[in-house]
Amino acid sequence: MRRRDLLAGVGSLAVIGSAGAVAIQGMPSFLEGDNGKPIADPYTIETINARGSEAGEVRVPATDRPTFVDFFGTWCAPCAKQMPALVEAHDRLGDDVLFMSVTNENVGGSVTEAEVADWWADHDGNWTVGIDPTAELSAEYSIGGVPYAVAIDADGRIQWSEGGRKSADELVDGIERALEADGIGSQAEAE
């Protein structure tokens, strides 16, 4: 056996072993927050004029309170079916967190801002709506599809993230993880 072949084999085993360790144990702690949760990079997201939302920009995650982000698409049937649960979760916790929904659709291309706003009104949305046409925020949170929910504490640590259609109770439970990490009681606990 030639030395080059031996070194290539040893190098391959090292790469496979490292990948296996990351798969089993997660990323090294220097890439995570103090409590082992990933820290979310801040992004500025454009917001649109829609019911409960004003055109402008918002920082995600917020610096002064926990943040909840719902990723959706106007073409997505499960997203439409999840809207009543989001409305209920917003009614229960919306004052305690930055509560927003974000689409990564090509607003201005495949769908207009007016179409997103109309969809929003048709489905009783009444909180901040953002657009992520370059999918940078979607990539940051590793969303594989929509609907997808992410709850981040005020220190920027992701406390909960999960894809698929959720009930109001599941959404509230996820958001409360971020609230509890910040030592904030929620309105839902008071009810």
Model confidence at 5, pLDDT cuts 50, 70, 90, reads low
The residues spanned by each domain of the chain are: 1-28, 37-190
Local confidence band at 1 (pLDDT 50, 70, 90 cut-offs): low
Name the pTM for this structure.
0.77
The residue ranking higher by pLDDT, 29 or 133, is: 133
Cα–Cα distance measured from residue 96 to residue 138, given in angstroms and rounded to the nearest whole number: 23
- Could you report the per-residue pLDDT of 117-160, keeping only the tens digit for each? 999 999 999 999 999 999 999 999 999 899 999 999 999 999 99
Q: What is the pLDDT of residues 172-191, one digit of tens each?
A: 999 999 999 877 755 444 44
CATH architecture of the domain with residue range 37-190: 3-Layer(aba) Sandwich (3.40)
Lowest mean pLDDT across 22-31, 66-75, 106-115, 144-153: 22-31
- Position 23 scores a pLDDT of 43
Mean confidence (pLDDT) of the chain = 84
Looking at residue 40, what is its pLDDT?
Answer: 76
pLDDT of residue 11: 46
- The percent of residues in the chain predicted with pLDDT above 90, rounded, is 67
- For residues 77-92, give the mean pLDDT: 98
Q: What is the mean pLDDT of residues 38-53?
A: 92
Report the pLDDT averaged over residues 22-28: 42
